[in-house]
Chain A
Amino acid sequence: DVKVTQSSRYLVKRTGEKVFLECVQDMDHENMFWYRQDPGLGLRLIYFSYDVKMKEKGDIPEGYSVSREKKERFSLILESASTNQTSMYLCASSPPAPLTEAFFGQGTRLTVV
């Protein structure tokens, strides 16, 4: 069974804290993605990585950074969490070919207080 695993289902952090969201995939996929999901806005792409140490900004990268030191792991970092970053965060991975399926983790519900 293919798997994308996100380290936490629920997180509560304080404003100003540095927050790490971890994502691991076991499918040897080149591409990995971080999205945030808010009601009525669908999934918005934060960052995209197409190889180890390679990354591209998505549509809403402000306030976030990412790290991909190993192929299977893609981390999302909130340098200084703010209340407007309260959201559902979804990680996905896929092979590089354009017609391939993206596999998602179960999501991390982050609340910043």
Chain B
Amino acid sequence: TQLLEQSPQFLSIQEGENLTVYCNSSSVFSSLQWYRQEPGEGPVLLVTVVTGGEVKKLKRLTFQFGDARKDSSLHITAAQPGDTGLYLCAGRNQGGKLIFGQGTELSVKP
């Protein structure tokens, strides 16, 4: 079974601080995705990373895919209360199943 381990599990920071969330696996994934979930809603896709070493930016969010395609990180610059939510990494295995990490619960206090 391919597993995705996320860290930290919980993060509580003040508005304006920077943070990084990590997603690690012992297996190689052809791509990794990051989703964000708000209370009472289903997860929504933020980004897909495909190439080892790839970096993608989405406003204040920077996503990186490790060179060996076994890990990824999400960095948020100058966090805002609107960034509060559950962040999930996900990867597809060869058979098409979409596997998720445990998630990182982010709370940004004003």
For B, the interface residue count at a CB cutoff of 8 angstroms equals 26
- A107-B102 contact given A31-B96, A48-B97, A59-B1, CB 8 Å threshold: no
Q: How far is the CB of A29 from chain B (nearest CB, A)?
A: 12
Smallest beta-carbon distance A66→chain B, Å: 14
**Complex contacts, A35 vs chain B, CB 8 Å:** 100
Q: Is the CB of B96 within 8 A of A92?
A: no
Contact call A40/B96, Cβ cutoff below 8 A: no
B42 touches A104 (CB 8 A): yes
Chain B CB within 8 A of A43 CB: yes
CB distance from B37 to the nearest CB of A (A): 8
Contact A104 B43 (CB under 8 A): yes
Main SS of the interface on chain A?
Answer: strand
Identify which of residues 14-71 in chain A touch chain B, using a CB-to-CB cut-off of 8 Å: 31, 33, 35, 40-45, 48, 50, 56, 58-59
In the complex, what residues of A have CB within 8 A of residue B43's CB? 43, 90, 102, 104
Of B41, B98, B102, the contact of A45 (CB 8 Å cutoff)? B98
Closest Cβ of chain B to A108, distance in Å, is 11
11 contacts between A and B (CB under 8 A): A4-B42, A35-B100, A42-B88, A59-B99, A90-B42, A92-B98, A99-B48, A99-B50, A101-B45, A102-B90, A106-B41
